[in-house]
Structure 1
Amino acid sequence: MRRDKWLFLFLLITFRLVASEPFMPNKLQFTAQNYYSVFIMDKGKCSAQELASMLLFYNPSINQHKAAKIAQIYIEESQIEGVNSDIAFCQMALETGFLNYGGDVDKKQNNFCGLGATGNAEPGLHFPDVRTGVMAHIQHLKAYGSKENIRKPSVDIRFKYVKRGSATSIYKLSGKWASDPLYDQKLENLLIRLFRHKSFLAFGKR
């Protein structure tokens, strides 16, 4: 019991250092197999449990069932369209502040990526449920990442305005998805946090 207590304390302290510690892949023993991909049309490497765990870590007020549900939906919808679920989930975290919102978009809109929210108190698009909102996000990402057709009926009314295949990696999203010139860096920072989190979770299971 005492050993478990110390292990929990160690992991808690380590997690708190994650956001500020310089990125050192060799320290965490990253390999080509578990290192993140920056390409939008790629297979995500994190499980729904790992995605949900990160969301709960940065937003402990969220319901665990809700976190698990949205993580699973992101993986399912991403797999259907061939989109990188790690990038999509991290972008959701960036756009919504880990589902804390606080900007022009309200949580009741089920808008997880700021679709149609152009500033000046414009709230953007509304979606009837979580899955539809996630589908719209994935479809919009695919519009940027690929010239291939989407596989499910379109729920993203802004899909047609995107120059298809114009942003195949996160580095090309700045100035396209968002006007923020640091948008790609912020998104990559979240990917780094996610894969650190993934690594620490794996370490805790040893």
Structure 2
Amino acid sequence: MTAVDERGVAEFFEGFEPPDGLKAELLRGEIVMMASPDLVHNLIVLLTERQIPLDRWYPLQTQDVDLVDEASEPVPDLVVVARDVLPDSGRLLPCQLITMVVEVVSKDSVHRDYAVKRSIYAAGNVPAYLVIDPIMAQCVLFTKPEGKGEDANYRAQYIEKFGRPLMLDVLGVELKTSEFGTFPDVKPHRYP
């Protein structure tokens, strides 16, 4: 896709209103629409959010993220920002302010969460990217972003199964995962 095409899509996306019951995000010049999430998904987001101490961090749901040099405006399930750097207002939160993003895998978002968004968040130099996966009953924490564009990636990854705590050093939080649910009867995948 050319820069003109990406700019046109980004301008179109700015005023785009998805149909009721759908959420939309811009990922590398493509508008991706998703149905409302499953109850398992929403409970994992809630349980994760409640473990982040509000005296130091703001865990924000459905916050659009602005990535420099990317035709992308992802909407992570959770964005974690230090309280003292949060702007007063705005639809787009600059990626430079973000400490961690969280995506909870849905039945149809496996590739997007593990590959596309992993590269996008690494390109935005987001320090930590946590994928919580109710298909495989695991959390995958990506850290140490490097690179630009589609070649960006995280140099480190750590996997922990549900039921065991996961240390989120970047937040100084031990995430308890024992209450995280799973999707029944969903075919396993091969990510990360």
Larger Cα-atom Rg: 1
TM-score, normalised relative to structure 1 = 0.26
Greater helix fraction, Structure 1 or Structure 2: 1
Greater strand fraction, Structure 1 or Structure 2: 2
Higher relative contact order (CA 8 A, sep 6+): 1
